[in-house]
Amino acid sequence: MRKRFGASLMLLAMTACRAPEPLTKDDPPVAEAAPLKPGLVMLSEAFAVVSPEGFSLSKPDKQMDFDIYEVRKGATPYVKIYVGNFPTFPTEGEERAAPSKPIVRDSARITHPSGLTTEEFLLPTTSKDWPRAIHVWALEVPGDQEVANRIASGITAR
């Protein structure tokens, strides 16, 4: 059992630290970045996060009927993670809406006035009760946006 769990975590770490997918002609130019080296696998009851060394996962204060986690490097938040039953996806833009029922996997790219592009992901869970959804979004991190987007893209539902 431990070997399978260890192998699953290693596979998760390798998947989250993969090279970026090829850009299409509509995507804004992005500087080439070296693949992230896996450092930490952080777990909650609902999701797993793989990040480079130096990051931490904040433990939320219990909200009304949802939790909001943050993946941080020191005092700088890189990624936010909503865990609950009623996410609004994406966080910005005209397409904002409550997701369909049942919740299906989705993703979005948001280009901000700063010129930075962040990524968001909506992940269904297998729970029929709570939580039914995980909504992950990278924050604007000037100079380190690629790392924020890649951490967000590597988060998986448990």
Q: What is the DSSP string of 126-155?
A: S-SSS--EEEEEEPP-TT-HHHHHHHHHT-
What pLDDT, on a 0 to 100 scale, did the predictor assign at position 148? 97
Beta strands in the chain (DSSP E): 40-43, 47-51, 55-57, 67-73, 76-84, 106-111, 117-124, 133-138, 156-157
Between 126 and 38, the more confident residue is: 126
Cβ count near 73 (within 10 Å): 18
pTM of the full predicted structure? 0.72
The pLDDT score that the predictor gives to residue 34 is 45
Q: Identify the helix (H) or strand (E) that includes residue 16.
A: helix 2-16
Looking at residue 13, what is its pLDDT?
A: 42
> What are the tens digits of pLDDT across the range 89-123?
888 766 666 666 788 899 999 999 999 999 999 99
Kindly list the domain boundaries of the chain, sorted by start residue. 2-157
Nearest of 42, 118, 34, 105 to residue 78 by alpha carbon:
118
- The pLDDT confidence band at residue 62, using thresholds 50, 70 and 90, is confident
Tokens 């999701």 correspond to 47
> What pLDDT is stored for residue 73 in this prediction?
95
Cα 109 from Cα 27, distance rounded (Å)? 10
Give the pLDDT confidence of 124-137 residue by residue, as tens digits.
999 888 899 999 99
Helix (H, G, I), strand (E, B) or coil at 93: coil
Comparing 96 with 83, the larger pLDDT belongs to 83
Please tell me the distance from the alpha carbon of residue 38 to that of residue 50, in angstroms, as a whole number. 7
Q: Which residue has the higher pLDDT, 97 or 21?
A: 97
Which of the 8 DSSP states describes residue 115?
A: S
Task: Please provide the distance, in angstroms rounded to a whole number, between the alpha carbons at the two ends of the chain.
Answer: 16
State the pLDDT at residue 157: 92
**pLDDT of the residue at 134:** 95
> What's residue 70's pLDDT?
94
